[in-house]
Structure 1
């Protein structure tokens, strides 16, 4: 398999971490959506990452769709999400909040990097959405003092949240103070200490 995308993206990283946990071998092509768009386009016409090329040549796009296939490959006993029920819905909801706030963080970067005149209304909206999602996750995480959301078992929600916390600290250190969310910071640190996270990391450098 070939995983396309740089690990400074929280979306690519959540896939890479899951593949490490599952023990799946893959070739990593750290292509940038801007600098390497011509390389990505033959695999994904949207030129977005992550993009996963299967051994048979089939291409999967979007992190949720990719992880769904990886879960199937790993099997129900090893999958980082319950097969059904409340636990599955909670993992999906928390993952959606974490990846959704990452979408807004990326929007903040693009708005400032690509426009000579930025929209303060759009910037304020994105910042409010990021803060609100983090606040909601902080409240939930404060009520679950276990190592991970579901006790001792790592899930996609844990991975997504840890990737989001790291990305927030690297991408927008002057806008958001991580000290505002101590439970999320502690969660991120716990996950970052795991071998799967250590094997899949790249510092995000905000554009000048």
Structure 2
């Protein structure tokens, strides 16, 4: 399988880590989306990453869609979404929250990266950062527990915190002791975290 991705993208790295955990081979293709590469656009008309091209040639995009696809082909002995509807919904809720925090954090980065100081809209930045803070506070109070297996919620949180460590070092930890310590606990269960988490 081939994955169009960017190493700094938390959505990309979530997929890469999950595939690695599930022992599914991925040919990762670093992709600069602003260049609108033809092979990416042929696979995903939105031109967004991550985009997966399966061995069959079928394409899948949006990280959660890809995560579900990987879960489906991994087999019953290696699943990242529980079978129980209640437990599955809880994992999916954690993943959705982490992805939503990533969305807000990325919008803050884009506001700084693509606007001039004269057009910077601070209320917009503040609104996004409020989402980040509320989401992190919730996760600090209710971090996903570790069980026998890692799940999609774990990989989503690992990617989120890796992204914050990369782009906002020293700006998110504050009083969140559980979250600040969580990556080390995750790495004990997934030793390749330091290598696969978001990075430039």
TM more than 0.5: yes
Q: Is the 8 A contact 2:15 2:66 kept in 1?
A: yes
Deviation at 1:202, TM superposition (A): 4.7
Give the gaps of 5 or more residues in structure 1.
142-147
CA RMSD, aligned part only?
Answer: 1.8
Give the structure-2-normalised TM-score: 0.91
**Structure 1 residue 186 corresponds to structure 2 residue 181:** yes
Give the corresponding residue for 1:53.
Answer: 53
Task: Determine the C-alpha separation between the residues in 1 that align with 2:185 and 2:174.
Answer: 16
> Which stretch shifts more, 26-35 or 92-101?
26-35
Per the alignment, do residues 3 and 178 of structure 1 end up closer, same or farther by CA in structure 2, a change over 3 Å counting? Answer: same
> Which stretch shifts more, 116-125 or 36-45?
36-45
Q: Is the 8 A contact 2:111 2:120 kept in 1?
A: yes
Deviation at 1:71, TM superposition (A): 0.6
Deviation at 1:52, TM superposition (A): 0.2
Give the corresponding residue for 1:88.
Answer: 88
Deviation at 1:198, TM superposition (A): 4.1
In structure 1, which of residues 166, 171, 177 is the aligned counterpart of residue 162 of structure 2? 166
Please identify runs of 4+ aligned residues in structure 1 that moved more than 3 A: 35-39
Give the structure-1-normalised TM-score: 0.87
Give the corresponding residue for 2:68.
Answer: 68
Q: Is the 8 A contact 2:163 2:198 kept in 1?
A: no
Q: Deviations over 1:49-88 (max 9, x none)?
A: 1100011211100011011111110123311110232211
Q: Deviations over 1:22-67 (max 9, x none)?
A: 1111211011222454442222121111100011211100011011
Give the corresponding residue for 1:136.
Answer: 138
Task: Determine the C-alpha separation between the residues in 2 that align with 1:65 and 1:71.
Answer: 10
Task: Determine the C-alpha separation between the residues in 2 that align with 1:165 and 1:13.
Answer: 11
Give the gaps of 5 or more residues in structure 2.
none
